[in-house]
Amino acid sequence: MDFDSGDSRFYKKDENENLICEIIYSIANSSLISIDRTFVDDDYRGQGIAAQLVGRVVEMAREENKKIIPRCPFAKAILERNSSLYADVIE
């Protein structure tokens, strides 16, 4: 899924502009990104969308040579469960 971006978030809306999913992050400092929240509408759950959102922030962290602090419980679980894939970006 391709996500839109802006205002420290990646997100997707449906054709009626209803929010399907989003991940909100903040730039903690010049070397850290905090994942603060993930959301997926009930109708879209179980499709791996939230994991894709976390992956998009990981991609951004790698591009910008930053580490991630996962404050969101879901993002933390994804990163820890797959720690071998994300060891380079986990703070």
Q: For residue 73, what is the domain's CATH number?
A: 3.40.630.30
pTM: 0.92
Q: Is residue 35 part of a domain?
A: yes
- Return per-residue pLDDT of the chain as tens, 91 residues: 789 998 899 999 999 999 999 999 999 899 999 999 999 999 999 999 999 999 999 999 999 999 999 999 999 999 999 999 999 999 8
Amino acid 12: pLDDT: 97
Q: Are 44 and 38 in contact (CB under 8 A)?
A: no
Q: Is residue 26 part of a domain?
A: yes
Q: Is residue 81 part of a domain?
A: yes
DSSP letter for 67, please. E
As a 3-state breakdown, the chain gives helix, strand, coil percent values, each rounded to 5, of 35, 35, 30
Amino acid 28: pLDDT: 83
Q: Is residue 15 part of a domain?
A: yes
Q: Is residue 27 part of a domain?
A: yes
Q: Is residue 91 part of a domain?
A: no
Domain count, the chain: 1
Look up the domain containing 28 and give its range. 4-86
